[in-house]
Each structure stands twice: as structure tokens, then as C-alpha cells.
Amino acid sequence: MKKIITDKAPAAIGPYSQAVIANGILYTSGQIALNPATGEIVGTTIEEQTTQVMKNLGAILNAAGVDYENTIKTTCFLANMEDFTTFNGIYEKYFTGKPARSCVAVKQLPKNVLCEVEVIAVVD
């Protein structure tokens, strides 16, 4: 198992890694809308926060030597399912390969953000 660590994505805020690679598969931890440089939440809207989440995931994917196209599965968490359509509009700009996905509404997310996304990707 190999840990992926990059300063271009937020540092882990608990006892976990940004991502790990095991048997050719990358598993990211859930990413929220944190600015990697400041650790502060970026934005107050679903558009702003989703965009930052995608940037954070992109940085982790790049650190592992892959990109969004290598993604085979995502799990998406929304604080409010009413944000589903807006979230999808931004999500589809990044995950153009249309990986498998689950998307659920949850009662609360860390730091009261509006969305969180985790990725499973193939690493060649």
C-alpha cells in the first residue's frame, strides 16, 4: 500500500491519508471545500464549494499520476438534496467519463460544508 500526500490538496484533518493506492486502485478520502493553503472553507454556495472539492480531488489524482478519466467510482454526499441538479452541473464538467456513482443526502458534513466527494480510480 502506498500513501498519496500532496500540499496541493488539504491536509488530512484526522487520523487518515489523503489517499492510498492498493493493488493498482486509488482510494481517496472524502474531500470538502477546503483551501489547501489556508485550511479555510472556500465559498458559501454549492457552486463554489463543489468547484473547490473538484480541484482538491484533481490535485490528489494528479499526485497519484492519474486524472479524472481514471475514476471508476465516486461517492458524493450532499447536505441538501435540493442542491443535486446544481452539483451535477459542476460534477459533470470534471467526470466526463461518467464513472459509477452514489449520491446521498446526509444530516451534516464536516465543518458544515455543503458537499463531500470521494473517488476510486485505476492507477496504471
C-alpha span between 87 and 105 (Å, rounded)? 12
- On whether the CB atoms of residues 17 and 5 are closer than 8 A, the answer is yes
| Pairing status of strand 25-28 against strand 19-22 | antiparallel
Residue 115 catalytic?
no
Residues in the chain: 124
Which residue type does 93 have?
A: K
Given the residues 103, 109, 120, 123, select the one marked as catalytic: 103
C-alpha span between 17 and 22 (Å, rounded)? 13
Catalytically annotated residues: 103
